[in-house]
Structure 1
Amino acid sequence: MLSFLLLCQWAAIVASQIISPSVQHAKRAILPVGWSRARRYSSDAIIPLRFGLSQPNTDMRTLELLLHGVSHPDSPAYGQHWTPARVARHFAPTDESIGVVTAWLSQSGIRSNRLHMSKSKGWVAVNATVSETEVLLSTEYHVFVHSESGKEHIACDQYYLPAHVAPHIQIVTPSVDFNVVLSKRHNGNSFSTEVSLGQPRAGTVFPQFTDAIDTLVPGTEHCDKQITPGCLRALYNFHYSPISGEKNSFGVVEYTPQAYVPSDLDKFATNFSAFSGPSLVGSRPSLSSIAGGVVQTASRSFDFNGESNLDLEYAMNLVSANQPVTLYQVGDLQMGASFNNLLDALDGSFCSFEGGDDQENDGIYPDPLPGGYQGQDCGSVKPANVISTSYGYNEADLSPAYTVRQCAEYAKLGLMGVTVLYSSGDNGAAGNGGLCLNPDGSQTSGGRIFNPSFPSTCPFVTSVGATQINPGATVADPESACQQVISSGGGFSNYFAIPDYQKGAVGEYLTAHSPPYSNTTYNSTGTSRAYPDLSANGANYVTAVNGGFFLVYGTSASAPVVGAMLTMINDARLAMGKRPVGFINPTIYSPAFRGAFNDITTGTNPGCGTKGFSTAPGFDPVTGLGTPQFDKLLFLWSLLP
C-alpha cells in the first residue's frame, strides 16, 4: 500500500477543482437468468469498494498496433519482445488519474487516511458504507438472490461518476456486473458442479467420450476410428526431434479439481512410444502450483481426470521426453480459480490491473475458507513460450468490461513473446452446454441467436477449432470439420472488433460465402472478430483414463496438439539463436503463410437450431485457416528473424 502522505500529496494536486456534473459510467442491460432482486442492502453495511484506474495504451486499437510491431512478419521489430518490466511501466496509470480520483473521493467526504492504493497504482480501494457508496455513485444497492442455489449477490443497476472523473476510472467493483460462475460444492471426497462444461472456476471441462476401447489398432491405417500420436504425425507431417530442451518451454493449464492420473500417463506411454528420445514411462509434467493448485487424488472419474489426462498424454508424447512440459495447476480445492488467477501468476501487474480480480467470478486469495490457500500468486510464474488452455466461457457469461480487461492481458503476454492458445468450444455456433442467446441477452437451450466463446473471441489469443478424418478415409485424405460427437466452435464476436490481421481473410469469406442468416442470428456486420484461427483433429482420440482406454472428442484435444507443434518450431528457432514465435496470428494470416495449412472445405458447425456456418476455401468460422502442415510452418518460421 502507498503511504497516507503520498495519497495526500496526489489529492492536493487537484483539491481545488470543482466536481463536475455526473454522467452514467455503467449500466446492466438485463438481470441474469435465475437472479431476482430481494431487498435493499442495509445502509450501514460495509462495501469493499474498488476503483480500477484507467491505464494508458490499453484500448484495443492501441494494443493491436503495439502487438503488431513485434508479431507481424513484415515489421522491422518482429520478434523483439518486451520484458515484463517494460510492460509494467508502459501500462502504469498516470499520476493525473490518481490525483483526480483521490481528490474527488476526498472532496466527497472520504478522508485520505481511509484510502488504500496498490503497489502498481492500478486501483484505489476504500471500505465504505452502503450509504456513502450510494451517494458517491448516485445509485442504490440491492441484494439479489439466485433461485436455485440461494446464493446472494450485491449489486446496483447502474452508477454515475462526475464527468471529469469518469475518464480516469475503468471499472468500479462491486457495481453492475453479474460475472457469476457458481462454484463447486465439496462433499466429503466427491465434487459436484452447478455449471455446464467449460466453466473454469468449477473445474469442469470440454471433452466428450464414448465407449471404452477393447482393442487398440496399431499403425496409421485406421485413424478414422482411433486417433493416436502416430496418426497426428502422419496427418500434419509432424516429425521433429527437439534439441533445445530446457531452453524451451511448453505449458498446459488445468483447473482444480481436474487432475491427471500418473498411472494413466504410463499406460499411454507404454502403448504409444514418443517419436524420439527416451521412454516417457515414469515421466511427469513439472508442476507449477498456482493459487494453491493441487493434483487431487480423492475423486476419480472421466469428469475429474479426462481433460488433464488427454492434454498431457498428447502434449508430452508429441514433444517427447526431451522437451519438459509444465503443468499449470490452478486453484485450491476450496475456492477454485479462473483464468484471471492464472494471469495474476503469469504477470504480477495483472493482480491489480483495472481493479484487480472480480469478487464473483474469480478465486479471491488468500482463501478464507478452512484449509484454503493463504497466499496470493502475483508474478510468481515465468510464462512458458507456449501456453495451451482447453477451457472457456460463453462470451455472454461475462460483461464487456471483464472480457476487455482480460483480453488486454493476453496482448501483454503477446508483447512478452508468449503464444496463448484456447480451444474454440464443442457446440458449434452455440455456447457451452448448447446454450444460445435470446433477444433479451439471456441464454437458453431454445435460443436462436449464435453464442460465441471467450477467450476465443479476444483478438490477442489464438483460437483452435476441430477437424475429423471422415469415416472410411485415411490420413492422406482431406479432413472435414468435426461433426462426430462434438462440433467445432466458431463464429463472430459480439464484443470485439475485427483485428487488422484478419480483415482480408474474413472479408473474402463473407463476400464469397455469405452465411444464410440475418443480423438477428449472428453478428453479420463483418466488423467483428471471427474465430477459430486454425484447427487440428478433435475426434476419436485414444486416451488412457482410470486404467482403461476411451475415445475422446473435443477442441480441447486440438489445442495441445497445436501447442506441441508450435513448441517444436520454437525449439528450432532457439537452436538457430532466434526468439520464440510469440503471438502468431499476424504471421499465420499473412500472405507468406497462406500455403502452410491444409484447407478444410467440407462440414459445418451446427447450433441454435441451424446447421451453423459452413466451411469454405480459405478462412471460415468453423476451422479457421485450416490444419497446420508442420514441415511448411517450420520452414517459413525459420526464415523469419
Structure 2
Amino acid sequence: MLNIPFASLAVVLYLYASLARAAPNPAAFSASLNIVKESINPPRGWVQGPPAPEHHTIKLSIALPQPRFGELEAHLQEVSDPAHARYGQHLSKADVDALVTPHQDSLDSVDDWLAQHGLGDEDMVRSDGMDWVTIRVTIGTAEKMLDTKYHIWIHEESGDVVVRTLSYSLPESVHEHVELVQPTTMFARFKPEMASLHYFPSVPDALEPITDSIAAVLGQQVPSSTTAVSPTCNSIITLECLQDLYGTKGYTPQAADKNALGITGYLEQFANLQDLKQFYAQQLPQAVNTSFTFVPVAGGENSQNLSEAGIEANLDTQYGLGLSFPTPGTFWSTAGRPPFNATLTTPTDSNEPYNTWLDFVLNQTNLPQTISTSYGDEEQSVPLSYAIRACSSFAQLGARGVSVIFSSGDGGVGDGDTDPATTTCKTIDGQNKTTFLPFFPASCPYVTAVGGTVNVAPEVGVFFSGGGFSNYFGRPAYQDSAVGTYLANLGQTYAGLFNASGRAYPDVSAQSMNFSIVSGGRNGLVSGTSAAAPTFAAIVSLLNDVRLASNRSPLGFLNPFLYTQGVQGLTDILTGNNPGCGTEGFNSSQGWDPVTGLGTPKFEVLKSLV
C-alpha cells in the first residue's frame, strides 16, 4: 500500500478529477515524429498514476549540442594539470560560452520546430551560451511536440508527486539538433545526503540559549593543543576538532576581498541566521556578527522561521563558513519541489531545481571559487543524457576556475544493506539484477567527490561512505595509476557487481560523524557525507586564499592536482569498509580506495604545495 502524505493525496484526487478531456489527436502529430529520443523502464520506487491534465503548465528545457565541447575539455585538462605550462590559466565566461555554442543549423532547426507549435523568440529563454532553450507550455502542447503521454507519478516512500513520461520522440528534422528535453524521463530526486539530527537532551526548550551543561560538553570537545586532537573528538565533532585534525588552526585568510565559498540549497532547505549566530557564539565567537550572502534562484526562499530551519542547510553553512572564516560565503536557495501545490486551482510546475541552479550559475560572470553540494541520487535514476549534460556543466565551471565539491553519498556501495535477501540494489533495465549502485553527481569525472571518515586517532572510513565505480562515465586518465593499483589488488572480488573501467569515487574524504550543529535553536548531532563535503570545501577555500593572496589563480578543477602532487598532502586512510547491496562493500587500503579515496587533508602540506 502506498504511504502518501495527505497533501499529496489531495493533489492526486484533484488530478483524477481533472481528467475529463480528450486524448491528444494522433493526427495532429507530424508524420515525422517517429524517432525515439529516449525511453526508460519504470523507475524503482515510483508508481504511475493517471494521465497528467492537459491544462497543466510545464517548463521544458531543451539542450542543443555543444560541438566544441572536446576543445573545452582539452582546455580544462591543461589548465588543471600542475605539470602543464597553462596550469591555472582558466578561461573566462565568454571563452566558455563560445565553446558551448551550438552550430547555427542547430539553432535554426530548433527555432523552426518551436515555431511550428506557435512559439516565437518572445516565448524562449536562452542561456548565454545559446546551448539551452527554455519554454513554458501546457501538457497538451508538450505531448504533441514530443509525441508522448505524460502521467502523474507518485514516489512511494515520500509521497512526492511529479509529471513525467517514460519515453519521448522528436521529428527527424530536429532529432540530431537536440540532445535532451526535460522534464520528461528524469526521476532523480537529488536528496540531501545526511542522517537525522539527534538533539542533546540537556536543551529542553528550542528557543532557550545553550545551557551551562551543554556548554561544558562542547568545551570538553575543544582540544587544548594546536597539534594534538582531543580523544573526545571521537564522540562530538566541532570546528576546533576539524581545525586541529586537518591543521588549519592559526591560519588567517588574507584574500577575503577576492575569495568566496558557495553553498547550494534545494528542497526548501533554509539556512537559519539565528542558528548560525548561536553556533558561532558557541564555537567561533569572533564570527557572531557575520553572515552570508543569500542568492535566490528561480524564486528560491530562505525562511527565517526557526521551525523551518534546514538541517542540511545549517550543517553546510555552519561548518563550511565556520572553517573558512572570514572568507565570504554565498548561499543559493533554488526553488523546486514536486510540481503540484494542492492549494492552487491550477498547479504550477517548478521542474528540476538542480538543472535550474546549473543554468543560473553558468550565466553568472562572477562565481565563488569553491562550491559545495551535498545532494545526489542513484546514478541509474538519472537518464544518461541528463547525466552527461550536467557533467559537462561541471566541466564548464572547472574551466572557469571553480572547484566543484560533492558528497559521495551515504549508502556505501548502494543501499547500506548487508543482507543479500533484502538488498534493494537492483538494476532498472528490466533485468532486475543485483548490482552496486553508483551515486551521481559524485560519479561525474569533473567534480571532486568527498567520502566520509570517523574517529581521529586514527581516522577510519565510515561505514556509510558512498564509493564505487560509475556505469555512465569511463575512468579518467588522472585516475589510471591510483585506481589501477587498487583494482589489481582487489582481483576478482565482487566481479560483475561493478564497472571496473568506470570513473572511480570518492576522490578524497573528511570527517562525517556526529557534527555538533544548531538547528531550530537547539543543539544536536548530525552525520553523513553531507558533513564531509563542506568540511573539505572549506579547506579548499583556504587553499584558494593562499593562492589569491600571492596573486595566483584559484585551484579550479582539483582532481588532476590531487592525484599527482596533491596526494602528498593527504592522510591515507587504511581501515574501514562501506557495506551495501548484500555485501561488506569495499575496504579501505593503502593508496586510493572506494571508501575514502586518496585520504583526508593535511592543510600545511597542501598549503606548501599550492
**Scaled by the length of structure 2, what TM-score is found?**
0.78
Is the CA contact (8 Å cut-off) linking 1:394 and 1:432 kept in structure 2? no
Is the CA contact (8 Å cut-off) linking 1:256 and 1:293 kept in structure 2? no
Structure 1 314/25 Cα, relative in aligned 2: closer, same or farther at 3 Å?
closer
Report the Cα offset of residue 293 of structure 1: 2.7
Report the Cα offset of residue 283 of structure 1: 1.8
2:84 and 2:590 map into 1 onto residues whose CA distance is: 28
Range moving further from structure 2, 284-293 or 457-466: 284-293
Counterpart secondary structure, 2:605: helix
Mapping 1:186-335, distance limit 5 Å: 199=191, 206-212=194-200, 214=214, 215-216=217-218, 217=220, 218-219=222-223, 220-221=229-230, 222-239=232-249, 240-255=251-266, 257-273=268-284, 279-298=286-305, 300=307, 304-320=309-325, 322-331=326-335
Report the Cα offset of residue 159 of structure 1: 2.6
Residue in 2 that maps onto 1:157 = 167
Report the Cα offset of residue 67 of structure 1: 1.1
User: Equivalent pairs: percent with the same residue?
Assistant: 33
Question: For residues 344-372 of structure 1, what are the alpha-carbon distances to aligned partners after superposition, in whole Å with 9 as ceiling and x for unaligned?
Answer: 22112xxxxxxxxxxxxxxxxxxxxxxxx
2:407 pairs with one of 416, 419, 423: 423
Counterpart secondary structure, 1:550: strand
Counterpart secondary structure, 2:233: coil
Give the letter for the 1:280 counterpart.
A
Question: For residues 153-192 of structure 1, what are the alpha-carbon distances to aligned partners after superposition, in whole Å with 9 as ceiling and x for unaligned?
Answer: 3536353542x743322124565x14364xxxxxxxxxxx
Report the Cα offset of residue 242 of structure 1: 0.8
Report the Cα offset of residue 530 of structure 1: 1.0
Give the letter for the 1:346 counterpart.
V
2:386 and 2:303 map into 1 onto residues whose CA distance is: 30
Is the CA contact (8 Å cut-off) linking 1:423 and 1:558 kept in structure 2? yes
Structure 1 127/268 Cα, relative in aligned 2: closer, same or farther at 3 Å?
closer
Residue in 1 that maps onto 2:582 = 609
Give the letter for the 1:478 counterpart.
P
2:187 pairs with one of 179, 187, 210: 179
Give the letter for the 2:322 counterpart.
N
Structure 1 460/124 Cα, relative in aligned 2: closer, same or farther at 3 Å?
closer
Report the Cα offset of residue 406 of structure 1: 1.2
Residue in 2 that maps onto 1:634 = 607
Asked if residue 480 in structure 1 is aligned to residue 485 in structure 2, the reply is no
Mapping 1:320-399, distance limit 5 Å: 320=325, 322-331=326-335, 338-348=353-363, 379=364, 382-399=366-383
Asked if residue 456 in structure 1 is aligned to residue 429 in structure 2, the reply is no
Residue in 2 that maps onto 1:555 = 529
Range moving further from structure 2, 149-158 or 539-548: 149-158
Report the Cα offset of residue 308 of structure 1: 2.3
2:372 and 2:477 map into 1 onto residues whose CA distance is: 24
Give the letter for the 1:423 counterpart.
S
Structure 1 115/613 Cα, relative in aligned 2: closer, same or farther at 3 Å?
same
- Which structure 2 residue ranges, 5 or more long, are not aligned? 1-30, 202-213, 224-228, 342-349
Structure 1 260/515 Cα, relative in aligned 2: closer, same or farther at 3 Å?
farther
Is the CA contact (8 Å cut-off) linking 1:236 and 1:630 kept in structure 2? yes
2:296 and 2:181 map into 1 onto residues whose CA distance is: 30
Structure 1 242/386 Cα, relative in aligned 2: closer, same or farther at 3 Å?
same
Is the CA contact (8 Å cut-off) linking 1:53 and 1:123 kept in structure 2? yes
Structure 1 263/142 Cα, relative in aligned 2: closer, same or farther at 3 Å?
closer
Residue in 2 that maps onto 1:362 = none
1:508 pairs with one of 468, 477, 485: 485
Report the Cα offset of residue 249 of structure 1: 0.9
Question: For residues 508-561 of structure 1, what are the alpha-carbon distances to aligned partners after superposition, in whole Å with 9 as ceiling and x for unaligned?
Answer: 110112362131x222xx221111110011112222233333222111111111
1:437 pairs with one of 425, 429, 433: 425
Give the letter for the 2:91 counterpart.
W
2:289 and 2:578 map into 1 onto residues whose CA distance is: 39
Residue in 2 that maps onto 1:356 = none
Is the CA contact (8 Å cut-off) linking 1:463 and 1:532 kept in structure 2? yes
Residue in 1 that maps onto 2:20 = none
Residue in 2 that maps onto 1:76 = 85
Is the CA contact (8 Å cut-off) linking 1:425 and 1:465 kept in structure 2? yes
2:311 and 2:142 map into 1 onto residues whose CA distance is: 46
1:306 and 1:504 map into 2 onto residues whose CA distance is: 38
Is the CA contact (8 Å cut-off) linking 1:431 and 1:452 kept in structure 2? no
Structure 1 613/99 Cα, relative in aligned 2: closer, same or farther at 3 Å?
same
Structure 1 411/433 Cα, relative in aligned 2: closer, same or farther at 3 Å?
farther
Residue in 2 that maps onto 1:490 = 467
1:62 and 1:297 map into 2 onto residues whose CA distance is: 45
2:538 pairs with one of 564, 573, 580: 564
Taking only aligned residues, the RMSD between alpha carbons, in angstroms, comes to 3.5
Counterpart secondary structure, 1:223: helix
Counterpart secondary structure, 1:593: helix
Is the CA contact (8 Å cut-off) linking 1:207 and 1:557 kept in structure 2? no
Aligned length: 538
Range moving further from structure 2, 166-175 or 448-457: 166-175
Give the letter for the 1:582 counterpart.
G
Report the Cα offset of residue 73 of structure 1: 0.8
Is the CA contact (8 Å cut-off) linking 2:371 and 2:404 kept in structure 1? yes
Report the Cα offset of residue 105 of structure 1: 7.6
Report the Cα offset of residue 467 of structure 1: 0.6
Counterpart secondary structure, 2:483: helix
Is the CA contact (8 Å cut-off) linking 1:100 and 1:165 kept in structure 2? yes
Give the letter for the 2:332 counterpart.
Y
**Scaled by the length of structure 1, what TM-score is found?**
0.75
1:442 and 1:212 map into 2 onto residues whose CA distance is: 46
Structure 1 238/100 Cα, relative in aligned 2: closer, same or farther at 3 Å?
same
Counterpart secondary structure, 1:247: coil
1:404 and 1:49 map into 2 onto residues whose CA distance is: 18
Report the Cα offset of residue 397 of structure 1: 2.3
Give the letter for the 1:614 counterpart.
N
1:140 and 1:232 map into 2 onto residues whose CA distance is: 52
Structure 1 466/160 Cα, relative in aligned 2: closer, same or farther at 3 Å?
same
2:94 and 2:449 map into 1 onto residues whose CA distance is: 28
2:424 and 2:481 map into 1 onto residues whose CA distance is: 28
Question: For residues 205-231 of structure 1, what are the alpha-carbon distances to aligned partners after superposition, in whole Å with 9 as ceiling and x for unaligned?
Answer: 524333517423142422112222222
2:133 and 2:360 map into 1 onto residues whose CA distance is: 21
Range moving further from structure 2, 572-581 or 49-58: 49-58
Give the letter for the 2:327 counterpart.
Q
Asked if residue 624 in structure 1 is aligned to residue 597 in structure 2, the reply is yes
Question: For residues 257-291 of structure 1, what are the alpha-carbon distances to aligned partners after superposition, in whole Å with 9 as ceiling and x for unaligned?
Answer: 222333332333233237xxxx1122212222222
1:228 and 1:259 map into 2 onto residues whose CA distance is: 21
Residue in 2 that maps onto 1:36 = 48
Asked if residue 141 in structure 1 is aligned to residue 181 in structure 2, the reply is no
- Which structure 1 residue ranges, 5 or more long, are not aligned? 1-18, 182-197, 349-378, 470-474
Residue in 2 that maps onto 1:6 = none
